[in-house]
Structure 1
């Protein structure tokens, strides 16, 4: 009988809310409950019950040994009707956070909170598909462990801070689909090689692409749908390993004939610019090219035969000054 009672007591202890809550760091739990309150107690965070272990809450991950909060990922597959407010300043009070994400929350407004700069262990910061506004803040450069920075699909405005180039471990930078203005910072050429993938499309960036970008070799470059001018040849080179380059729908004007392309290219999109010259024969050596578009430029001459250049249809070439040859009509 004593053994049965002892087993019953142990079972009750293991599965009681009080016992489970002991796994969660009390400070972290208090901060999470403050975050929930600041966001007007949305249904998305209904599992955040103060009587249960916060390591078991939805949107939260804890370290398996220390039980400190390492990940806070608040996202919604459908628009939240009661999820409103600004990013709570208290997110900066989770000192062991490595991942922070707010995604598809259209009623999330206001600026990027300065307290985020306190999250020195942060490796991934995703704030996307929200209505946050204001500038891309300089203080993000203090997050020196950051590997992924995604601030896409928001209402951010102003220039891109040059200080972001001081992030030594950055692998990917996404600032696309905002209202950013001004030039691409010249300092971006000082990223540690190969440099992060740079996705800056669908903004109002202007001026020339910095020549300093010849120093880096990112996997992906997307500067499309801006107001960039002048040369883009520094993005290429036979010694680079870049796979995707999209600079379409800008005001770029340079001689394509002189450009040497990396054989690693999978996507090259130059459409809707003012690019002159001929299509280089070197592009026939790019064996894995899956996407290609040079339409709506000022190119001339015969499309080189060989490689994958004839695999693309007329739409990839049309509306040029005097381009000819398969798949366009013959040059004769």
Structure 2
């Protein structure tokens, strides 16, 4: 009887203690409140079902807490059945370093100005959505940004020159939108790191600014625009560029006079107005991809290196280009 009574008393004391899951909660109360506001503004989607106010927000899906401050540092919403706009409340997560809304086709509206408040943000990935409006100039306030990924959207207008003020950028993805106007001259004035530039599948016009020739890029993709003129200044034996895609534009220059860097592994120039012949120096390059089709090239394809490993589709539809893998020169 005494043992039974002792068990009941012990059980009563145990039940009266606060729940360990609640007392040990790491989540910052302010961050938790903001996340619940974001969930509500998105219509309480099933994708965020784990965002239960009675649980620790550091354990919620698509968020991450810092191991030192316990503040929310990452919000990565991807492949979600979510409709609506990006909630301005995302700007109230002051420790956020990574913000992603990716592959959400029913996400609409413009990029909210509240994002400019995220001074610790390093990666901004808003891609594969139906966001519209301009690429906002306020993005230049995000001084710690290393990745700007706004591709596969419906963004319009011109590219803001102020993006070049971001000294920590490693990559800029503005491809597959509806951007117009010229590539900003300021894009040749990046200080600090030189970012990879992905501007393809837009409606950009004019000449590529000569200022870009002063920088040493690793990747340049200007394909499928309406750009024109001579871009040979982007090459040079002193460069370390590796991947170049200038295809499907209106570029016009003498390819035989171009000095290619030893670092070049991928060169796509198809569907332009490029003339001259293929320089023999191309045989010394370790190409993984090459396409110069649909231009105005002439002469024999140099023998050696990787040039004969590509099929005729890399070379055909030129003015008078000949030699393996094309038919022999007459």
Normalising by structure 2, report the TM-score: 0.94
Q: Deviations over 1:124-168 (max 9, x none)?
A: 000001111000000000101000000000000000001100000
Contact 2:77/2:100 (8 A) holds in 1: yes
1:212 has 2:211 as partner = yes
Change in 2 beyond 3 A, CA 1:19/1:283 = same
Give the conservation status (yes or no) of the 8 Å contact 1:228–1:252.
yes
Which residue in the other structure is 2:315 paired with?
Answer: 317
Distance 1:302 1:145 in 2: 50
Alignment counterpart, residue 296 of structure 1, candidates 294, 297, 300: 294
Give the aligned partner of residue 61 of structure 1. Answer: 64
Runs of 4+ in 1 over 6 A off after TM superposition: none
Aligned position for 1:328? 326
| 1:46 correspondence with 2:49 | yes
Counterpart for residue 36 of structure 1:
39
The residue number in structure 1 matching 2:255 is 256
Count of matched residue positions in the alignment of Structure 1 and Structure 2:
323
Q: Note if contact 1:84-1:107 (Cα within 8 Å) is conserved in structure 2.
A: yes
CA distance in 2 between counterparts of 1:276 and 1:11 reads 85
Match of 1:116 in 2: 115
CA RMSD of the aligned region, Å? Answer: 1.8
Contact 1:199 1:221 in 2 (8 A): yes
The residue aligned with 1:152 is 151
Unpaired runs of 5+ residues, structure 2, are: 1-5
Q: Tell me, which stretches of 5 or more residues in structure 1 are unaligned?
A: none
CA apart distance, 1:321: 0.4
- Which deviations, in whole Å up to 9, do the C-alpha atoms of 1:86-142 show, x marking residues without a partner? 111110000000000000111111110101001000000000011110000000001
- Displacement of 1:327 in angstroms is 1.0
C-alpha separation in 2, matches of 1:318 and 1:15: 71
Is this contact kept in 2: 1:203–1:226, CA < 8 A? yes
Q: How does 1:136-151 map to 2 (within 5 A)?
A: 136-151=135-150
CA distance in 2, matches of 1:11, 1:138: 56
Give the secondary structure class of the aligned counterpart of 2:267. Answer: strand
Q: After TM superposition, list the pairs within 5 Å mapping 1:125-274 onto structure 2.
A: 125-192=124-191, 195-274=194-273
CA distance in 1, matches of 2:260, 2:31: 51
Determine if contact 1:35/1:88 at 8 Å carries over to the other structure. Answer: yes
- Deviation of 1:307 after TM superposition, in Å, equals 1.2
Q: Alpha carbons of 1:5 and 1:261: their partners in 2 closer, same or farther (altered >3 Å)?
A: farther
Moved more, 48-57 or 194-203: 194-203
Q: Quick one: distance in 1 between partners of 2:175 and 2:160?
A: 14
Q: 1:325 to 1:54 in 2, by over 3 A?
A: same
1: CA distance between counterparts of 2:26 and 2:182? 49
Distance 1:235 1:14 in 2: 64
TM-score (ref. length: structure 1): 0.94
Q: Map 1:75-114 to 2 at 5 A.
A: 75-76=78-79, 80=81, 83-114=82-113
